Amino acid sequence: MTSGSPASRTDLAGFLAGRVSTDVCAILVRFAEASATLRDALAVAPLSGMLGKTGDTNVQGESTAKLDERANDIFCDALRLPSVARIISEEEAEVVEVGDGPYTLAFDPLDGSSNIGYSSVGSILGIYEGILGDAFTGGAVTGRLLVASAFTVYGLPTMLVVAAGGEVASFAFEPDERAWLLAAERLSVPEAAYTSINWTYHDRWPAHVQQAVQAASDGLRGRYSGSMVEDILRVLLAGGVFMYPEDSSSPQGKLRMLYEVGPIGFVMETAGGGASDGAGSVLDVPITAPHQRGPFIAGSAEAVARYEAAYAEGRPD
Ligand code: AHM
Ligand code: MG
């Protein structure tokens, strides 16, 4: 990993130039700009009447926060670019038709909604090659169609992580200039230090999942925020493993393949880490519906490998 110096002047567009196509660069820059707009709304939410629920539920049956809705509007408006064919959002029941471009964008406008007003939340973007939606049959869609992905964490610092052009880089938001400046490039997931999982679900996990979680967590310190983006940033920068496995309440796991598991898995694998559903890479899992869920184990390669080994050993035939 190479850290940007305190005086780093490389902004996101400058970093991406020559590493990705102009279309992919434009999408990532728009995502970053929209994230800055959402950050402003989050920063004053306790003063602006933007905390609380709308009273509606989304397609997943989850009650929608006012800021979920605002975040969705911000990203849907910002990402209607000529290179975009379709948009798939956590907050949109249906696939949204945009135009004739070569890419489908999948995003979670506000990840970690239960933390709004208390702790860090973030946004997640996956840029997929092709027109997803028509191809949701026959197992044709997988995370291997990702050409780039990104996520933000609205804390202090406010961070943007981008996986593009074969490497992962982080950027910090500089509020005076409203610029995303390079913080570190060529990120590589360090050896595991932290384990991140909702331990209160222990009794809901099948026996082989209990064993696998234990094996992956061996010798690590616990940290869990309820915002995947925050936990993933820690794992990416300090080493560790984030886990949201299948359980008796969520037999497929909770997290959604196209806009949570896939984009974050792409970041982890690009940074030399692991991203698994327990049996293999999440990027190889066939996706047959826009809001499909999947188990997700991601982080330092050796910790993910320990999970997979115990999972295979204990799994009933
Ligand atoms: P959300 O996109 O509706 O916020 O749901 C995803 C979030 C993740 O950020 C987090 O890891 C997980 O849900 C927390 O769930 P739980 O409260 O079951 O531990
Ligand atoms: Mg989410």
- Architecture of the domain defined by 12-184: 2-Layer Sandwich (3.30)
Q: Phi first, then psi: give them for residue 238, nearest 5 degrees.
A: -115, -10
On whether the 194-314 domain is CATH 1.10.1240.10, my answer is no
Which ligand ends up closest to the CA of 228? 1
Closest CA to 297 of 287, 289, 308: 308
Which ligand ends up closest to the CA of 125? 2
- Ion ligand 2, residues whose Cβ is below 5 A away: 108, 111
The pair of structure tokens assigned to 206 is 């099948």
Ligand 1, atom 16: nearest CA belongs to which residue? 226
CA of 114 to the centre of ligand 2 (A): 10
Q: What is the pLDDT along the chain (317 residues), one digit of tens a residue?
A: 555 566 678 999 999 999 999 999 999 999 999 999 999 999 999 999 999 888 888 887 888 889 999 999 999 999 999 999 999 999 999 999 999 999 999 999 999 999 999 999 999 999 999 988 877 776 679 999 999 999 999 999 999 999 999 999 999 999 999 999 999 999 999 999 999 999 999 999 999 999 999 999 999 999 999 999 999 999 999 999 999 999 999 999 999 999 999 999 999 999 999 999 999 999 999 999 999 999 999 999 999 999 999 999 988 87
Residue 138: is it exposed, middle or buried by C-beta count within 10 angstroms (0-12/13-18/19+)? Answer: exposed
Mutate to test the pocket of ligand 1, among 72, 154, 198 (most ligand atoms within 8 A of CB): 198
CA of 228 to the centre of ligand 1 (A): 6
Domain layout of the chain by residue ranges: 12-184, 194-314
**pLDDT at 7 (0 to 100):** 60
Lining ligand 1 with CB less than 6 A are 62, 90, 108, 111-114, 198, 226-228, 244, 254
Side-chain-side CA neighbours of residue 106 (13 Å): 32
